[in-house]
């Protein structure tokens, strides 16, 4: 048995961990929210092997091993951050989870 390493770079915040069996339900709820309200909020479930964490995210990309991402406050205009913040807050409210202050996250995943 081997391990697979990946790293994600995403804008969002951590929410209460979701059991792997409940991720399909989370996907369905987020899809319904996007259809009704627009936006582009999804989720990311990643972490240390069998201790994955769950995140609500907007912009997300996988960072290839040996590569890097460079982000400055000017990478996206202020209006984009404001829109993402509103979308994340609305999605959290729709899911009944606590909305935290969003930011850029580096999330290593081991599976």
Residues in the chain: 111
Q: What is the pLDDT of residue 59?
A: 87
Q: Smallest Cα–Cα separation from 49: which of 102, 104, 6?
A: 6
Taking domain 5-110, whether its CATH number is 3.30.70 is answered by yes
**CA–CA separation, 88 and 39 (whole Å):** 9
Would you give the DSSP letter of residue 86? H
Average pLDDT of adjacent 10-residue blocks, the chain of 111 residues: 80 81 82 89 83 88 83 84 94 90 89 76
Q: What is the pLDDT of residue 110?
A: 78
Alpha-carbon 79 to chain mean position: 19
Model confidence, pTM: 0.85
Residue 69 has what pLDDT? 79
Residues 4, 55: Cα–Cα separation, whole Å: 20
So where are the chain's domains?
Answer: 5-110
CA distances from 110 to 3, 49, 61 (A): 7, 5, 16
pLDDT at 64: 83
- Within 8 A by CB and 6+ apart from 101, the residues are 13
**Could you tell me if residue 37 is left (phi over 0), alpha (psi between -120 and 50 degrees) or otherwise beta?**
alpha
In the chain, how long is the greatest CA-to-CA distance? Answer: 46
């Amino acid at each position: 048995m081997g391990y697979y390493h990946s790293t994600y770079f995403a804008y969002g915040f951590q929410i209460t961990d979701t059991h792997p069996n409940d991720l399909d339900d989370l996907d369905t709820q987020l899809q319904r929210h996007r259809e009704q309200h627009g936006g582009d909020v999804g989720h990311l479930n990643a972490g240390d092997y069998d201790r994955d964490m769950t995140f609500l995210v907007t912009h997300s990309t996988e960072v290839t091993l040996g590569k890097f991402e460079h982000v400055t406050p000017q990478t996206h205009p202020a209006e984009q951050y404001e829109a993402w913040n509103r979308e994340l807050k609305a999605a959290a409210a729709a899911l009944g989870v606590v909305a935290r202050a969003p930011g850029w996250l580096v999330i290593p995943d081991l599976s």
